[in-house]
Each structure stands twice: as C-alpha cells, then as structure tokens.
Structure 1
Amino acid sequence: MSKENRRLIFILGIGFLAALFMVVSSNLVFLENIEYKVTDFKFSRRGIEGEKLEGSQVVIIAIDDQSFAEIPYKYPWPRTYHAKLIENLNKAGAKTITFDILFTEESTIDPAQDDILRDAIAEAGNVVLAGKMDVQVREGFSMVSLLPPIEKLREEAPFGLADTKSDTDGFVRRYILFRDYNENRYFSLGLATLIKHLELEGEYTDWFEETRNGDYVLGGSHLIKKYDTLPSTFINYYGPAYSFKTISFEQVVDDDGFYLLLERDTLKDKIVLVGATVSELHDLFSTPFYIAGGETLTPGVEIHANFIQSVIDQNFISEVNYFVVYVLAFLFALAIAYLIKKSKPWIGVSSAVAIGVVYFFVNIMLFTAANILMNFIAPMGAIGLAFVGCNVYQYFSEEKEKLHIRSVFKHYLAENVVDSVLKDADGLSFGGQRRYLTVVFSDIRAFTTYSEKYTPEEVVSALGEYLTEMVDVILKFGGMLDKFVGDEIMAVFGAPYYMEDHAVRACSTALEMGRSLDRLKEKWAQEGREGFNIGIGINTGDMIVGNLGSEQIFDYTVIGDAVNLGARLEGINKLYQTANKIIISEFTQNEIKDNFVTRELDSVRVKGKKKPVSIFELVGEKDVIVYSEEFLSLYDEGMRLYKNMEWDLAIKEFKKVLKINEDEISNMYIKRCRHFKKKPPARDWDGAFTLTTK
C-alpha cells in the first residue's frame, strides 16, 4: 500500500473515531446540557405560538399576588375558599376542574372544612385532585412513597401526580405520563385531567395503550408521543410563562368579580387548572422559554396546561431516530476527513463550515417548521472533532514531511528556494512529472593525472574546496544540486521550484563557476599547488523530474534525452577547446540569446541520435567583452561559408580570425575545410559532425 493511501486511511480513521466519540459520549451531562440549550434556542427561534392558544380550552386560576393581598388569611387558606371556587366555576360552566394544590393532609384550621370541600367536590363531579410521589434519600437509599389526597377527598374525585421532572440543568422539558407503584398505575395530573375531561371510565387498559413504536394512545384517538426511555413526552411549550389565559383566584371567589366572568362565558366548557403563581409557594420552574421570556419562571400549573393543550391539539414534538443521527455523524466526519486529506486547505475548511452551517439551519428549520427535534450535538461535535483532529494530524504530518524535505534539500538547494519548495511540496511525492527544465553538467579535466601528483589527503582537500565553491554558486542562482559523480557535478534549474528564467540562471551559474575556479587557482598557486580546468555542458528541454527509484529508496532527480544531451555536451568540451569551456545546446541558446554573448561551435549528431543539434560556446554576459565584434563577425562569416561548402573562402575568413586572436575552433575549421577539399562530403551533407563516442 502506498504512503498516500496509508495516510488517507489513517485520516479517515480519525474522522471515524471523532464520530464514534461523539456517539458514545453524547449522553455525558455536559454535552446533554449543551443539547438542552440548543433546544431552548430552537423554541426561542420558533417563538410564541399565540395563535394556537386563541380559543384554548385551558384556563388557569392563579393563586397570585392579588389573591394573597385580598384574601384575609395566610396561606394555606381555609378550604372553604376552594369549595367556593368549585361552586363558582361550575356556575360558570367549567367542564373539568383540576387542582394543582396538594390536599395530602387534613385541614389544620378546622377538620370540618375538609367535609365542606368534599361535599363541593362530590356535588360538582368534575374535579381532579393532585398527589405526588415523595422521594427521600436515607443512607444512600431512595425511599419512594405515594402521597395521595386525604381519603375523604379522593373518595369523591380521581387524582393525578403533580410531580415535575427536571433535566440535569434544572429545566423542565419532559412530562412524566405515569408511574407504576405497588402494582398500581398512577397517571400524571395532566393525563388524569384529560381522562376526566374525555369521560374515560373503567380499566385504564381499555382506553390507554402503547403502540408498537412506543407512543401512547388515549381514548382511542389522542396520540401522545413518547420521549426518552421514561414513560414521558417532550413538552411542546406554546410560549413563556403566562401564555395561557390566567384569572386570579381571588376574582373567582369574589362574587363581584365572578359575575363579570359569568357574563362573558369566560369559563364555559373549559378545562380549569388551579395552581400557584406566587414565588412564595415555590412552584415556579425554568422552561425552554426562560431566557426568551425575559428570565421569567413558569408556574408548575402552566406546565400541566402546556401538556394538556398539546394533547388536545395533537401538537407534539417528534424526535428523529438516533440511528439516523449517528449515521449522519459518521458520514459528516468521514466526508470532512476525506476532503481535508484530498483537497486544498481552503476547500477542507469551506466544506467543514458549509456542512456545519447547512446542518445547523436544517436542524433549526425542522423544529420551527415541523416540530421535529433532531439531535444537534452528535453530528456537529463529529464535524468539529473531525475537522480539528484531521487538521492537527495533517499539520504534524506536513511538518514532519517538511522537516524531511528540508533535511534532504538543504544540501541541494539554497535556503530561500527550500522555503519556496515547502510552500507547495505536492510535486515531491513519489513518481515523476514532465517539465521543461535546464540541466548543467561540469567535470574536472585530467583529474586522474592531477590526482597522481598529490597525496589522497591533498586531493580530497582540493576537491572539497572546489566542490564547496561550485555548490555555493549553484545555490546562489537558485539551482538544485542533483548529485556528485566523483568529480562531476550535476545541477538542475527549474526544479523542484519552477523558475521561468531557469536557462538564464543556469548560464549565469556556469560563468560564475568559471570565475570562482579562477579565484581558487590563484589561491592554490600562492600555496604552491597546481590547479585544474573544468568543462561545462548545458541543455534545456523536457525532462522527467521527481522522486525516482523504488518506493523504499529513491532520489529526487531528472532523467530523459534532454538530460543525456547535457551530459554529452560537457564531454565534448574536450573536442572544442573554447575559452570558457562552456558548451550549450541550441535549445538553451533559444532561451538565453537576449541575455548572453554566444557563438556557434558546430552542428553535431550525438551517438545514437539521427537528428543533429547545433551547439554554442557561452562566451559571457552582454556587457562583458571576451571576443571583439570584428572577431565574432569574421568567425560567423567563416561558419556561413563552411556550411555552404566554400572551403577556400571559409579558410580565408578563419585565418583572419586567427590574426585577431588565437582560436582553437577556427584552427579546427581550417583543418576540416582542407579535409573536405580533398574528400568532399556527400551531396546531402547537412553540415553536422557525427560524434563516435559518448
């Protein structure tokens, strides 16, 4: 398996683990609390559903501040007030009256008052009372006991459990439907109210059943959506505190205020819930609308009202199956991991942000538009963890790769070029690419003879000085040191960091190498040591560049015919004794002719190739005078005559060149012209000289 594929699998594994972690840990308290807050935000975004409460069948009678101020008794009030309340509510046409007030103990004022209240309940026949489950913790054990209304009251009316269930953050979001205790089932206060309101009688199994998917059906037609593992439902709050029509307790028991209600039919056929809204009675709770509602606590009686209304309206919150949520978490995490590995960094970041934003808005819209509650934290956490984890891995992998690249290329490239390469190291993966580059070969002339004159230590010292100087020059002009082969140097320009002027840089390097060698020779002469000369060959063309070799052991290098030609040009310096000992091909000439002075040397056909290549001497920079204009003009004319096979005229021109300056190339052409005079070339002669050796 390739290194790239191994990294892809590893980064996908990070994405998988990120999703797995969120799936496994989504039930942790702090993550649950975040999920709860997101749910609260969804309620606030949906807003108050006031239009659904218009014509609501539920009305709240509040034990409020007004009642505390007007009724001349400390709470708990005499139970005759509650009896009066029942009497007046029935006069007003209330269909069902539910007390969210506990009558679990006999009256401390006068036991006879319990009888009065009992009689009022019995006469009304539409009252539901409240009980609760009392939980006491002793020595680490929970003791659960039922606290029902006193016997004389519960003989006349059913009761329901008024308990509320808070989440770990203290907010009430779910509604417990029933509790099984001592082989009996006790329904919640809201459910008991609905049972009374719908006039359901007999065994509860006749009118309360559980469906296959875990939901409940009341009275054959009223669906109640189950939430969580408990027999509970998620309360679909219609709004913050006091969203339901609320009337003061005092107004109902006061005859003047009551008759006003009676005239308006305010309570006719209503479900009336009686409960406390004053803070002194500690029956206030935080709900999802707590923040959106101005941080107002919701009375417990209104929690029951929200549940009852949602059953009547069949307005429940549905929950998306967790399997779907977890699948999405894995898909998101794996997709982000893949994109981070296979795409550019900005694409990975954009994709993660896009997936997160889309999921956020879809999640919110499902709730606000369709009352569908979908887990938010698991997929979003998977997105976040996968993004962070994969980027951290990618960062350290890239840093490790960069350290490796730097450690390798610092010996071949200048520091600034290494930095440029590291900005885009994609081209340094295993394998090659076809690119248009320039290659430089240099070799010491007669190095074997030189070596025989000195001890190995002296040879190594001189070679070290020479190679150091040459490499410094190569790096100075942005070249890459490809390799040393004994005393031969191979350098590449345009890779791994591409430069448009690679041919110009290569030629500048060759000229500077010659000047640096001259300085070294002066130094060695002062030290009593001989120097040596070098030959340089330069070619430009398409080459295969990259990490070539096996996947285990490879080398960053260039190969191809263009490279081979560069090596051949370095070798044929021995045949053409040029002043600078630098030969370039016609392909390099085409790239640098505006920057340097050159002169054509020959047209050669290298061994193994049919097509000839024109070669040139790299004379120098435009502003450096090596040959006079007259010298070059006469030489060019001699070359023209030579190609036209005008041997005598060509000899004449080359001799004029020699009068200006001694020139081995001109001498070579004089000899060739004399040879061709005696043995003329074939009629199809193309002017090329065929090399018989490499």
Structure 2
Amino acid sequence: MKNKRRNRLFQAFGAAGVSILLAIAIWQSGMLTAWENKVWDTQSMMLASPSPRSEDITIVLVDQQSLEWAQKNMGISWPWPRELYGAILDTINRHQARGIGFDVLFTESSSFGVSDDTALGTAIAKSKNFAAGSIFPGNIHGKLSTWPDDIPLPSLATTATLVKKTDNTPSYNFLTMPIPEVAQNAAVLCNVHHDPDQDGIYRSLHPLVFAVGIPLPSLGLGLYLAAHPDTEVSLLNQHLSVGDAVIPMNISGQALVRFRGPPGIYTRISAATLIKDEMLYRDGEHTDPAINRQLRKKYVLFGFSAPGLFDLRPTPVGAIFSGVEINATFLDNLLNNDFISPLSQNLKILVLSFSTILLGLLLAYFSSPIYMTIIALFFLLIPPALSFFLFFIGFRFEILPFECSVGGTIILSFLISYMQEGRKRRFIKHSFAHYLSPYVIEQLIEDPDRLQLGGDRKELTIFFSDLEGFTSISENLEPDQLIELLNDYLSAMTDIILEEEGTIDKYEGDAIIAFWNAPLETPDHAVRAVSAALRCQKRLKELRPLFLKQCGHEMHMRIGINSGSAVVGNLGSTNRFDYSMLGDAVNLAARLEGANKQFDSYTMISESTYKLLNNTFFCRELANLTVVGKKIPIRVYEPFLPSEYQKKKKTLETFSKALQNFYIGNFESAVIQFNTIVDEDPSAIKYLNKCKVLQENPPPQWEGVWALTSK
C-alpha cells in the first residue's frame, strides 16, 4: 500500500513538475503571446458588446460628412485652416464643457499664415481646461532634446516628489513640440505616441511617459487633469494613482484598456455640426439646444474619423477604431476606475503550479479512464472560466500557459496510466490465466480496480471436488497413463467451472478447489457454483465410458459446496504466489465434500448456499449434521437438474417424509419409509442402517442430528 501511494505521488509530481517547467519556459519565451492576444480579443468581443459606458464623454469628429460639408458650403478643402478648430473650440467652451482634449498634432505652422495660428491660440487661451494631444516623443527622431524654456513645465513635472520615473515607465530622449500658440496656452500637454502590440492591434496605452525627463500624460489622462487641475497624481511601481482612481500597469508601463463595445458607443457630434452652430451663434440666430445637452459638463474629445485622415486603428473590438475613441475609452476607464489589472507574475506561477499539481494528484489517484477524462475536461475548462470571471472583476488572466501546463499534465498522466495499464494487463494475464476464464480476465483488464489484491474479506461460494477411489485407480496405471487421465478429467471439469465464471484456486491431485465472487463481483455466485457442480456431474457421466476404457474403473466425483465469508487474495512470496482463500467457510466446504461418503451422495451443499439459490434448482434436504471439529449442526442439501428431479420426484418425496420421522426420533416409521426406496436411492440405505442402529441403541436425548466422526 505504501509503495502504491509512493508511486502515485511520484506520478503526480513528476507529470505536474515537467508540465509546469515546460509551460513556464514556453510562456517566458513569448511563443504564446500572439495566441494569447487572440484569446484576449475574443474575450473582449464577447464581454464588451456593449457594456455600460460613461455618459459624460462626447466625441467631436472630423468625419467624411464634415469634410464634404466644408468643401460644399465653405469652399474649404483639407487641411482646414486652424480658425475652424478655433470655432469648434469656441462652441465647446460656450456650452461649458467640463474639459476639452484635442487629438491633433499642431507641430507645424499653419499654411494659412501666422494669423491662423494666432486665432487658434486665442481660442485655446479662453479655455482653462484644454488638453493638447500634440507632443510626439521619440528616441531617434525629434526636434528637441530638452524642454523649451518658453514653455511652462507641465504640472506633473512640478510635483516631482509624487511622479518619479520608474523602471517600467517608458522614457524618450527627444520630443517634437506643438507650435507655441498651442503649447503656451494649453492647460495640459499630452503624449500622442502609442505603439500597438506586435500584431498591430491596440489593446493598451501608456498612461504616462517621460520625454527628456518630463512626465507627459496620455490624452485621456491629460483631459481629466485639465478638468480637475488639483487632482493629486502619484506613481508607485506599476500603479499610477489619479485622485481616488488607480491605473494598473504592466511591466512595460502600459494600461490595458477595458473596451466598452464596438466603435460608436460614445455620443458623437460631427465637426460640421459645431461649426454650423457657431456660425448661427455669431449671426445672432437660434442654435440647436440638443448640442448643449451633448456638451454641457461633458468631457469632450476632438479627433478624426474620416478614412482619408489616417487616424483609424485596429482594436480587439473593431478593426476600424478612431484614435480619439481609444483615448475616450481610456478616460471612461479612469472615470469608472475599472481598468483591467494584470496579475503579478509570481501569483500566476503560484496558481499555475498549484492547479497543475492538484490535477496531477487527481489523475494519479483516479486512474479509471472515465474519471481521468472527466477530471481532464474539468481542468481544461477551469482556465477559460476563471479568465472570464476575473475579467468581470477587473483582472487579465492568461489562459494558454495554464492550458499548456494542464494539457501537458493530462498527456503525461494518460501516457503513464497507459504504460501502467499495459503492465497491469500483463500482470493480470500472467497471474490469472491459469485459474480464471478469458471472459473474467478481460473484465479485470477493462476495470483493474475491481481486483483487490493483498487480501480482502468477501462472501464466497466455495467448491471442493474429489474423485471417488482415485487412489486405487492411480495404483493400476502407468505414470503417463495417469497424467493423461487426470489432464482429460481436469480439463473437462475446469472448462465448465470457468464457463460459469468461477476461479480455480488449485488442483491437488484429482481434487479441484474453486470459488465464486472473487476477484470479480458475481451477484449470483451460489447459483453459478451449483450450476457448475451439476454440469460437472453430467459431463463426467458422459465421459465415464471413455474413462472406463482408460483406467478400467468407473469414475465418480464427490462435490461439496458452501457459501460464507472468507479471506481471499494473493498468498505467497513476492516472487511466487497463488490467488487463494482462507477461513471456516472454506473448511466447511471441504468437510461437505467428504460427508458425501456417509450418504452415498455425490453433490452436497450447505444451507447457506441453498438459501442463496432462491429455488433456482430443485434440492432435497439430505441431513442435519455436525462435521468433525464443529458442534453446531448444519442442514445440507442435494441439488438436482430439473430433468433428473422429475425422474426421482416420488422417491425424493418419500425420502423427505422419512427424513422428518428420522428428525423427530420416529425410527420405526422412518425404517418403513426408507425401506420402500432403497432400490432407487443409495442415501435411503444409509438412513435405513442408521435407523436400525439407533433403534438398537436409543440415544438418551435425540435432536435429529447426524454427527460425523470422520472427514
């Protein structure tokens, strides 16, 4: 048992350990990144279609409709003069937006002249909450390597004790600034440089980068800071605190964006609509009140969505997603404080290791193919289920490393189980081939757990048989003749026992010892044992003429059968053993085989076996006797095949009546009745003689028990 437990532990930890190491190695190599991103995209699509979004965000877009309207009604083609941006900005300010963020690079002076830039600068100056997404940092290209003296430092840079660069925060050596009219008048200057993942999909943004040593927020964060200039910002390790909100970042300093749904879920206003509204306002005409509802107290982002303006990006939830809408989604996450947090690497490895080891243990201890399949499927479903659950509560959980580890453990466990199964099959065939039927062996091979080796107490039906007068027969035969006779006889009897799903315990010369209900459960074990006994007697009768020619004697077989509790298992040394049985029930079956001599019967079963037959066979009560070594009497019976019983029915009925008189001590009546059937029933002769002895020597206290004095 200890070795078995040790082997299972070795199997569990071996399969799990190898799988964990391989999964971590593959994981760390980056081989799973592309596939994991696809899984994340699928998950984002399924869980963001669409999810609740902030009603406080409005996006103003230069869409295709705006370009066509400006061309048709104003004769202005792209690029627009910046005074149009100023008009849009004036409209937004007039409707008292909470904050304004422009996702536009104003790095070059206007082609329409200085006055055009001045008009834009004037409009920005009127806004106290304007965030300009106009700084483009880089490590190779950029116009400046230091912050310009004429541009005020960003507010984040002045809180140096709170916002300091960490190892995972991106840093750039150069930057390209917007024109002074924008840079000097904007409340917040923002970084607009964001790289997609290796497959070109935008899944995350850098909330904060450092360019020439100066911290720059993303446009979404910058717009929030422009609207709430007193907000305290602090950067600690992989977390950026913004007021009460926390932005979790990965080791690259990126924040994973929780997309709310496909493009177009936020309130959208065409830029042309705001230009027309501003023109009406300046002409003293009535403006559209719906615009006020869309802008008042809102966080307003301005950007491009017209296909020709090249600001469309692929995301997990849509292949055509405007850059400004990605920034809007980031701002939405910030307002709701529900960014997706990456789990720590140590925690993921711990969970992976624990779940894999648990799987290995379960597969080792529940080695049935059905159980292993159920456990395997359950553990394969755990990572996606856990990933979906964690997504809802705000965590990203990589599925594939866990599936690799789980899958590896499953494959190795099934492989180990298959190899062990092969050894177990060979062991079963080697151990049982000589004393179990092929059918039973196949059943054991299909379900080895049904085989309880090493000793088990079970309810058995035990079969003992012996040839009558075989000593005399063997003395008159040459050795080769004796072996041939025995082999013919034992083969015929063994075939029947195995056909009835019995187990051959051993052969002792001409004796056969067998039992039922082990190693496989056989609910009708008593019926099968008695059936085997009757079939053996019938087969021996058929073979008797052949055996008579071989040995010169008629061969008769005595059989004793008993049902009861016995210990059964492999008995012997580690190198050589027999699957055998021990117990009083076994000894009684042996005694009943010998008791046949006292009654000239050839098949005797105990009362315990008789009760288990449930009238399957016709039986006559043969005696109430005590065997040698036992004081408690038992009733014994003689079973018959139906055809044989019908032939002897009248004789057996007379025997039964005589036996009842014998039990009550009415020996005179018993003698008369037994005397009428002595020619048909050898057992009646035995009882007739017994009655005469008892008449001559009456016992002092008669209990109807025939006490055997020999085995």
Distance 1:524 1:447, change over 3 A: closer
- 1:687: Cα distance to partner? 3.1
Aligned pairs for 1:494-505 within 5 A: 494-505=517-528
Partner of 1:140: none
Aligned pairs for 1:265-664 within 5 A: 265=292, 267=295, 271-290=299-318, 297-318=320-341, 327-330=350-353, 332-333=355-356, 341-342=365-366, 364=388, 367-368=391-392, 371=394, 397=420, 401-402=424-425, 404-406=427-429, 408-420=431-443, 425-525=448-548, 532-547=555-570, 555-578=578-601, 581-592=602-613, 594-618=615-639, 620-624=640-644, 628-629=648-649, 631-645=651-665, 650-658=670-678, 660-661=679-680, 664=682
Amino acid at match of 1:99: F
Q: Deviations over 1:56-87 (max 9, x none)?
A: 4x543435442255234554344454455556
Distance 1:651 1:530, change over 3 A: closer
Question: Structure 1 stretches of 5 or more lacking a match?
Answer: 138-142, 201-205
- Say how many residue pairs are matched: 664
1:216 aligns with 2:240: yes
- 1:248: Cα distance to partner? 2.9
Tell me the distance in 1 between the aligned counterparts of 2:656 and 2:275.
Answer: 126
> Are the aligned partners of 1:595 and 1:622 in contact in 2 as well (CA < 8 Å)?
no
1:76 aligns with 2:94: no
Amino acid at match of 2:642: K
Distance 1:154 1:623, change over 3 A: same
> Are the aligned partners of 2:466 and 2:512 in contact in 1 as well (CA < 8 Å)?
yes
Distance 1:638 1:237, change over 3 A: closer
Pick the aligned partner of 1:242 from 259, 264, 269. Answer: 264
Tell me the distance in 1 between the aligned counterparts of 2:395 and 2:376.
Answer: 24
Aligned partner of residue 537 in structure 1, secondary structure: strand
Distance 1:675 1:244, change over 3 A: closer
Range that drifts further, 666-675 or 511-520: 666-675
Range that drifts further, 329-338 or 25-34: 329-338
Tell me the distance in 2 between the aligned counterparts of 1:150 and 1:442.
Answer: 108
Range that drifts further, 591-600 or 272-281: 591-600
> Are the aligned partners of 2:313 and 2:322 in contact in 1 as well (CA < 8 Å)?
yes
> Are the aligned partners of 1:284 and 1:298 in contact in 2 as well (CA < 8 Å)?
yes
- 1:654: Cα distance to partner? 4.1
Partner of 2:195: 165
Tell me the distance in 2 between the aligned counterparts of 1:281 and 1:639.
Answer: 115
Pick the aligned partner of 1:131 from 126, 129, 135. Answer: 135
Amino acid at match of 1:227: M
Tell me the distance in 1 between the aligned counterparts of 2:543 and 2:336.
Answer: 99
Range that drifts further, 275-284 or 682-691: 682-691
Question: Structure 2 stretches of 5 or more lacking a match?
Answer: 142-170
Amino acid at match of 1:132: F
Range that drifts further, 423-432 or 483-492: 423-432
- 1:304: Cα distance to partner? 1.7
Q: Deviations over 1:634-658 (max 9, x none)?
A: 5445544544555565555444433
Tell me the distance in 1 between the aligned counterparts of 2:589 and 2:375.
Answer: 47
Distance 1:565 1:19, change over 3 A: same
Partner of 2:699: 681
Q: Deviations over 1:350-383 (max 9, x none)?
A: 7777788788667646654x54555555667766
> Which TM-score applies when normalising by structure 1?
0.80
1:100 aligns with 2:82: no
Distance 1:552 1:81, change over 3 A: farther
> Are the aligned partners of 1:332 and 1:382 in contact in 2 as well (CA < 8 Å)?
no
> Are the aligned partners of 1:129 and 1:149 in contact in 2 as well (CA < 8 Å)?
no
> Are the aligned partners of 1:441 and 1:538 in contact in 2 as well (CA < 8 Å)?
yes
Amino acid at match of 1:131: I
Partner of 1:40: 44
Aligned partner of residue 518 in structure 2, secondary structure: coil
Q: Deviations over 1:133-156 (max 9, x none)?
A: 34779xxxxx97645135645652
> Are the aligned partners of 2:89 and 2:124 in contact in 1 as well (CA < 8 Å)?
no
Amino acid at match of 1:163: H
Partner of 1:185: 215
Tell me the distance in 1 between the aligned counterparts of 2:657 and 2:536.
Answer: 31
- 1:563: Cα distance to partner? 1.2
Distance 1:98 1:146, change over 3 A: farther
Range that drifts further, 25-34 or 110-119: 110-119
- 1:439: Cα distance to partner? 1.5
Amino acid at match of 1:688: W
Tell me the distance in 1 between the aligned counterparts of 2:682 and 2:98.
Answer: 125
> Are the aligned partners of 1:98 and 1:272 in contact in 2 as well (CA < 8 Å)?
yes
Distance 1:645 1:276, change over 3 A: closer
Tell me the distance in 1 between the aligned counterparts of 2:433 and 2:246.
Answer: 72
- 1:312: Cα distance to partner? 4.4
- 1:176: Cα distance to partner? 0.2
Amino acid at match of 1:49: P
Tell me the distance in 2 between the aligned counterparts of 1:78 and 1:566.
Answer: 113
Tell me the distance in 2 between the aligned counterparts of 1:94 and 1:629.
Answer: 111
Amino acid at match of 2:102: F
Tell me the distance in 2 between the aligned counterparts of 1:522 and 1:546.
Answer: 39
> Which TM-score applies when normalising by structure 2?
0.78
> Are the aligned partners of 2:134 and 2:191 in contact in 1 as well (CA < 8 Å)?
yes
> Are the aligned partners of 1:82 and 1:117 in contact in 2 as well (CA < 8 Å)?
no
> Are the aligned partners of 2:190 and 2:216 in contact in 1 as well (CA < 8 Å)?
yes
| RMSD, aligned CA | 4.3
Partner of 2:52: 49
Tell me the distance in 1 between the aligned counterparts of 2:672 and 2:183.
Answer: 141
> Are the aligned partners of 2:82 and 2:117 in contact in 1 as well (CA < 8 Å)?
no
Tell me the distance in 2 between the aligned counterparts of 1:608 and 1:533.
Answer: 27
Q: Deviations over 1:666-686 (max 9, x none)?
A: 444444445445544343565
Q: Deviations over 1:564-621 (max 9, x none)?
A: 111122234444433xx22323333444584445455444322221112333444x31
- 1:470: Cα distance to partner? 0.9
- 1:423: Cα distance to partner? 5.9
